Structure 1
Amino acid sequence: MKHAMNILGAAALASTILVGMTAQAQDGAQLFVSKACIACHGVEGKQPINDNTPKLAGQNKGYLMTQLQDIKSGARNNGQTAQMKPIVANLSDHDIEAITEYLSLLQ
């Protein structure tokens, strides 16, 4: 129940941040919550659950895209990728681009 409340609160927070963002970034914000990225990376990718999980907010879009694509393809298989692979496997190229656009715009 607490986890569900955190996700609902994060969704409400994300909706206030969306003003002024591109449509793609707005899609990315919604996907970040609905695809459960928030569960490990925290609200806006700023509050990871542990020291081994990276902060994603403000990272370079190209870097983030490469990391997600490499995890999805299996080119990257170190660190936390075992946990990420099943999540990333369900992301389309559009999803990856939208999520990384969103994260790259955050401060």
Structure 2
Amino acid sequence: MMNKKSLFGAVVAVGMVFGAGSAMADGAQLYQSKTCMSCHGANGDAPITPMYPKIGGQNAAYLIQQMKDIKSGARNNGQTAAMKGIMAAVSDEEIEAIANWLATL
């Protein structure tokens, strides 16, 4: 029988193999590495153009829905074309991590 520590280690290892490890990723780091800051500013509050939204401090659920809608094509208006290609490289777990971080700003 496996003890709790061994079981936890096995679950973490399996999660990493199947991509669940990214669910624990640091939202701030992902925001930078996925180039979000290039258009929205370092903390999501200084977009490079007034047409881009300020996303720092927004509700996480709202941000998650917007990013998922842009990724799927359900939202296809305004400046979404600029984000469509970027969102293709962002997993749902990463979207949640980024949104949760932005909501804390």
- Scaled to the shorter chain, the TM-score interval is 0.7 to 0.9
Gaps of 5+ in 2: 1-22
What is the distance in 2 between the residues matched to 1:31 and 1:101? 11
How many residues are paired up? Answer: 83
Letter in structure 1 aligned against 2:62? Y
Aligned-residue sequence identity (percent) comes to 58
Q: Which has the higher helix share?
A: 1
Letter in structure 2 aligned against 1:102: W
Shift of residue 43 of structure 1? Answer: 1.0
In the other structure, the counterpart of 1:50 is 49
- Runs of 4+ in structure 1 deviating by more than 2 angstroms, as ranges, are none
Code of the aligned partner of 1:51: P
**Could you state the TM-score of these two structures normalised by the residue count of structure 2?**
0.76
Aligned to 1:39: 38
The residue correspondences of 1:86-105 to structure 2 (distance < 5 A) are: 86-105=85-104
The structure with the larger Rg is 2
Deviations 1:14-70 (A, max 9, x none): xxxxxxxxx95x711000001100000001101100110000110000000000000
RMSD: 1.4
Q: Which runs of 5+ in 1 are unaligned?
A: 1-22
Distance 2:82 2:65 in 1: 17
Whichever residue aligns with residue 96 of structure 2, its letter is E
- CA shift at 1:84, angstroms? 0.3
Distance 2:88 2:78 in 1: 17
Alpha-carbon displacement from aligned partner over 1:45-101 (angstroms, at most 9, x marks no partner): 011001100001100000000000000110000011000000011100110000000
Superposition TM-score, scaled by structure 1 size: 0.74
